[in-house]
Amino acid sequence: MKEYWASLASILGVLAFCQSLLQVIFPPELRFASLKLLNRIFNMFTSYCYFDITEIDGVNTNELYNAVQLYLSSSVSISGSRLSLTRALNSSAITFGLTNNDSIFDTFNGVTVLWEHVVTQRQAQTFSWRPLPDEKRGFTLRIKKKDKNLILDSYLDYIMERANDIRRRNQDRLLYTNSRGGSLDSRGHPWESVPFKHPSTFETLAMDPVKKGEIMEDLKDFANGQSFYQKTGRAWKRGYLLYGPPGTGKSSMIAAMANYLGYDIYDLELTEVHTNSELRKLLMKTSSKSIIVIEDIDCSINLSNRKKSGGGGANPMGRGGGYYDTEMRSGSGSNGEDGGNSITLSGLLNFTDGLWSCCGSERIFVFTTNHIDKLDPALLRSGRMDMHIFMSYCSFPALKILLKNYLGYEEGDLEAAVLKQMEEIVGKAQMTPADISEVLIKNRRYKHKAVSELLEALKGRAERNLKNGGVREKINLMNNLELESEEEEQEKRALESPLEGSDVEDSCQKDEDEEEEKK
Ligand SMILES: Nc1ncnc2c1ncn2[C@@H]1O[C@H](COP(=O)(O)OP(=O)(O)OP(=O)(O)O)[C@@H](O)[C@H]1O
Ligand SMILES: [Mg+2]
């Protein structure tokens, strides 16, 4: 047996020697033919097969090369004697990789494979539309012939998937804006981006834990729901409407969503968009795994424009009679009421719901508003915004989260009596998490003072609300009384008016009769 291996090794050695000799002596055509022949003989004796994954495929970058590089960076042990270190654009993480002509073993489904990073100098520059790097880089994958099918079926898919995960984890999230209006940058992009570093997370977000849990679950289900959306024939997107008073955490919630799912954010400034087609182009240039945000939607666009349009009618729910068509044609800009901004509600609905909304996938739309009552029912109907989330004034569970965030107080750290007082009063105080955060930040170095000032602030607001509430009740009562007396007056007038009317009619008739008689 030993002898067999020795002779096989010497044959392979001779073949390798012949290969390199051929490269030096023969002209290219002959060299190519003989290399092919030698490779065949070589393949007959070896139990391995090899796959080359080059960095550049023709003139295009080979995605698989980048994926393998990233994938191997997660399995290369830091103990290696020489590793290459890279930090990608928009990334705060450093990745390790194989240096030139280095190799590494990897195991997948119990099968061991060998990866080699092959770097050679590029020979005379061939014609290309774009300059190619001086070095030719590629990975060679060595697999036992018997494992070839087993591994190729799923191994490469697995690598692509893992690489995408790593890329997402390493890359900073981006915040895009369309503040340049409709103009494009040098690469034809309408969006400008900056690294997104908002620290808000669901852990720091002060709100009812049950509601928070529901939202997190909904987001996770959405992100893992590719097959569900495929199966049910729905576009893979979801809409959230966040509403509530200012300072209750709507923007913080969006940041928490992005950080939770690892999505980018597209902050769409509707006032910068001039036409529906511009809106569509912006949508087409968003990437998947992103959150498209329209803040203060009630202020961004004249959503009541359909009422002003002739065909819209006054019935806000009226969808018959070509309601949307009329809307399309009669954007507020067309009649100049909106400073030339002709984006319409139907354009917006098409943006979130129409066929164009499906270019790309795994996208979340978030609208925020302080006045849900001002929104058009078409925006609120079920299926359009899948979840309506009310961001309310600070509740007791939310208050506990803020105390933990700013003062580091856990559940048992505060006196039970103080907590009880807070619990009783926080609902009546109607303070937003932003208000409470202000008090806590101001005194964060002196925890006791922070707590006592917070209690004072809560009490003060509760009392004021009670007084205002009392006054408001009185005003409402007076208003009601006034209304009632006004209604009574109107009724009286209505009852009297037919008499007055008949009087007038009668006198007119009398005058006419008299004139007739005179004639
Ligand atoms: N629920 C919350 N949890 C934690 N912090 C909050 C919360 N709500 C508000 N804050 C704090 O208050 C500040 C303002 O909050 P945010 O901008 O999220 O409010 P908003 O609801 O978007 O207000 P607006 O309606 O004015 O846009 C944030 O910087 C954050 O620190
Ligand atoms: Mg906000």
- DSSP for 325-374 reads HHHHHT-GGGGTTTTT----HHHHHHHHHSGGGGSS-SEEEEEEES-GGG
The alpha carbon of 398 and the centre of ligand 1 are apart by a number of angstroms equal to 12
Pocket test for ligand 1, best of 201, 251, 439 (most atoms within 8 A of CB): 251
Backbone angles phi, psi at 155, to 5 degrees: -65, -45
Residue 502 lies in a domain: no
Same domain, 270 and 367: yes
Instruction: Indicate which atom in ligand 1 lies nearest the CA of residue 207.
Output: 1
Tell me which of 140, 171, 202 is where a domain ends. 171
Residue 496 lies in a domain: no
Residue 249 lies in a domain: yes
The alpha carbon of 252 and the centre of ligand 2 are apart by a number of angstroms equal to 7
Instruction: Indicate which atom in ligand 1 lies nearest the CA of residue 295.
Output: 27
The alpha carbon of 392 and the centre of ligand 2 are apart by a number of angstroms equal to 13
What range defines the domain where residue 41 resides? 1-46
- List alpha helices for 197-322, DSSP H: 209-223, 226-232, 250-261, 276-284, 297-300, 305-308
Instruction: Indicate which atom in ligand 1 lies nearest the CA of residue 252.
Output: 18
Tell me which of 360, 390, 420 is where a domain ends. 390
Same domain, 119 and 57: yes
Backbone angles phi, psi at 28, to 5 degrees: -55, -45
Residue 180 lies in a domain: yes
From the list 303, 322, 302, the residue with the least C-alpha distance to 312 is 322
Which ipTM score applies to this complex?
0.98
Q: Nearest C-alpha to atom 12 of ligand 1 is from which residue?
A: 434
Pocket test for ligand 1, best of 437, 438, 439 (most atoms within 8 A of CB): 437
Ligand 1 within 6 A of 321 CB?
A: no
Same domain, 329 and 457: no
pLDDT along the chain (519 residues), means of 10: 58 61 64 74 78 79 84 65 65 67 85 87 59 74 87 86 79 82 68 88 95 96 92 90 96 95 92 86 86 89 47 32 32 40 77 72 92 86 86 95 93 87 94 95 90 94 85 53 52 45 38 46
Report how far residue 297's alpha carbon sits from residue 455's, in angstroms, rounded to the nearest whole number.
35
Same domain, 256 and 293: yes
Ligand 1 within 6 A of 457 CB?
A: no
Ligand 1 within 6 A of 251 CB?
A: yes
Instruction: Indicate which atom in ligand 1 lies nearest the CA of residue 253.
Output: 18
Ligand 1 within 6 A of 205 CB?
A: yes
Same domain, 42 and 72: no
Report how far residue 306's alpha carbon sits from residue 390's, in angstroms, rounded to the nearest whole number.
27
Strand order in the sheet with 48-54: 48-54, 135-144, 111-121, 103-108
What's 259's domain CATH number?
Answer: 3.40.50.300
Report how far residue 263's alpha carbon sits from residue 291's, in angstroms, rounded to the nearest whole number.
7
Same domain, 19 and 57: no
In the prediction, which pLDDT does 27 show? 67
Ligand 1 within 6 A of 212 CB?
A: no
In the prediction, which pLDDT does 252 show? 96
The alpha carbon of 373 and the centre of ligand 1 are apart by a number of angstroms equal to 21
Q: What is the CA radius of gyration of the chain?
A: 36
Q: Nearest C-alpha to atom 13 of ligand 1 is from which residue?
A: 434
Backbone angles phi, psi at 292, to 5 degrees: -100, 120
In the prediction, which pLDDT does 104 show? 84
**Angle at 454 (CA atoms; ends 453, 456), nearest 5 degrees:** 65
Instruction: Indicate which atom in ligand 1 lies nearest the CA of residue 394.
Output: 1
Same domain, 286 and 380: yes
Residue 515 lies in a domain: no
Residue 514 lies in a domain: no
The alpha carbon of 242 and the centre of ligand 2 are apart by a number of angstroms equal to 10
Same domain, 2 and 69: no
Tell me which of 141, 171, 201 is where a domain ends. 171
Same domain, 323 and 355: yes
Point out which residues pair with 116 in neighbouring strands: 103, 140
Instruction: Indicate which atom in ligand 1 lies nearest the CA of residue 437.
Output: 11
Same domain, 352 and 255: yes
Same domain, 187 and 227: yes
Instruction: Indicate which atom in ligand 1 lies nearest the CA of residue 204.
Output: 4
Structural domain count of the chain: 4
Long-range pairs of 112-117 with CB within 8 A, sequence gap ≥ 24: 113/141, 113/142, 113/143, 113/147, 113/151, 113/155, 114/141, 114/142, 115/68, 115/72, 115/139, 115/140, 115/141, 115/142, 116/140, 116/142
Residue 495 lies in a domain: no
Instruction: Tell me which H or E stretch contains 51.
Output: strand 48-54
Same domain, 193 and 336: yes
The alpha carbon of 268 and the centre of ligand 2 are apart by a number of angstroms equal to 13
From the list 152, 126, 130, 251, the residue with the least C-alpha distance to 200 is 251
Residue 516 lies in a domain: no
Report how far residue 517's alpha carbon sits from residue 519's, in angstroms, rounded to the nearest whole number.
5
Q: Nearest C-alpha to atom 14 of ligand 1 is from which residue?
A: 247
Buried b (16+ CB within 10 A) or exposed e, 261-274: bebbbbbbbbebbb
Burial class (CB in 10 A: 0-12, 13-18, 19+), 356: middle
Are 365 and 238 a contacting pair, CB within 8 Å? Answer: yes
